Amino acid sequence: MNCPITYVEPVIRPPAEADALILQATIGCSHNRCAFCPTYKGKKFRVRPREELFAEIDWAAAHLQGLEKVFLGDGDALALSTDRLREILDTLRDRLPALRRISAYASPGNFASKSVDELADLRDRGLSLIYVGFESGDDEVLRRVDKGFTAAEIGDLCLRPQEAGLKMSATVILGLGGPALSAQHAQHTAALIDRVKPRFASALTLMLPQGEDDYRARTGDPRWRMLTPVETLQELRTLVAHVDGDGIIFRSNHASNYLALAGTFQKGKASMLAQIDAALANPRLLRPEFLRAL
């Protein structure tokens, strides 16, 4: 079987897309300035040539007729024009009739050029889930990591796909602010989650394969340091305690985390807090460092 699907490495995807076919509709990330993220630094953002991407869809249609999930990469495939996304979605649905989910990474800035009606049209054409990196709801943390938006702007922009009926999975990162900004990072991030009310929210824990010195320099705070595992857990507790939205499914099951949580706000909130408290009382319950990964 001669498979024409090729990837420009590295390629990442959410844990929930482990069984999805990844199609790189774009290469890299259209922002690519976040201080914490080295993933796309070696890639210049570009749109995949139409003939390359559609040849891969043709191959999948010929060989993977039972395929149920497709994930559109790279870092923010929603940077594509609405017309290009329509063409991709229509082709996927036409050629792969068993598909039940098409998902993609998106950044808040992707929604600035798309109206609610356009996003609803993409939903109707099969786009069912978008993964959006909030990272933080604290403006100082967002400024230091060069996210490119304030918390209010992230909220405003991410309400568009919410209004359009798209399912959203929002990601936040524990430890971005270090000890000095930990409490406000957690509390303001909870407030942003409450404002947007994504269907899913997940926490990752900061890991810096590029080194702490580089990140420290990027943030402009010479006193910044990584949180300890216990401090990270305390930050997670503050975040969980301050989320008041109801019905949001929360996970911390990414391999970067010290503690895997799963629950739904608000009915599972007490249970999640109890799990955190148990781990704080017995840090041996935390994932050891050598098992953590991005």
State the pLDDT at residue 1.
59
pLDDT at position 291 is 84
Helix (H) or strand (E) run with residue 91 in it = helix 82-95
Residue at token pair 């911390």: 252
- The reported pLDDT for the residue numbered 6 is 87
- Interior angle at CA 263, CA 267 and CA 103, nearest 5: 125
Closest CA to 276 of 141, 185, 169, 174: 174
**Is 60 in contact with 92 (CB distance < 8 Å)?**
no
* Residue 275, burial from CB neighbour count under 10 angstroms (0-12, 13-18, 19+): buried
Q: E-strand spans in 148-217?
A: 167-174, 200-205
Full set of structural domains in the chain with CATH? 15-291 (3.80.30.20)
Classify residue 103 as exposed, middle or buried by CB count within 10 Å of its CB (0-12, 13-18, 19+). Answer: buried
* Listed residue (10, 14, 37) closest to 146, CA to CA: 37
Nearest Cα residue to 257 out of 209, 210, 220, 289: 289
Query: What's residue 35's pLDDT?
Result: 94
Q: How many residues does the chain have?
A: 294
Tell me the pTM: 0.95
Per-residue pLDDT of the chain (294 residues; tens, 9 = 90+): 577 888 999 999 998 999 999 999 999 999 999 999 999 999 999 999 999 999 999 999 999 989 999 999 999 999 999 999 999 999 999 999 999 999 999 999 999 999 999 999 999 999 999 999 999 999 999 999 999 999 999 999 999 999 999 999 999 999 999 999 999 999 999 999 999 999 999 999 999 988 899 999 999 999 999 999 999 999 999 999 999 999 999 999 899 999 999 999 999 999 999 999 999 999 998 998 888 987
Supply the DSSP symbol for 148. S
Query: Do 30 and 75 form a contact (C-beta atoms < 8 A)?
Result: yes
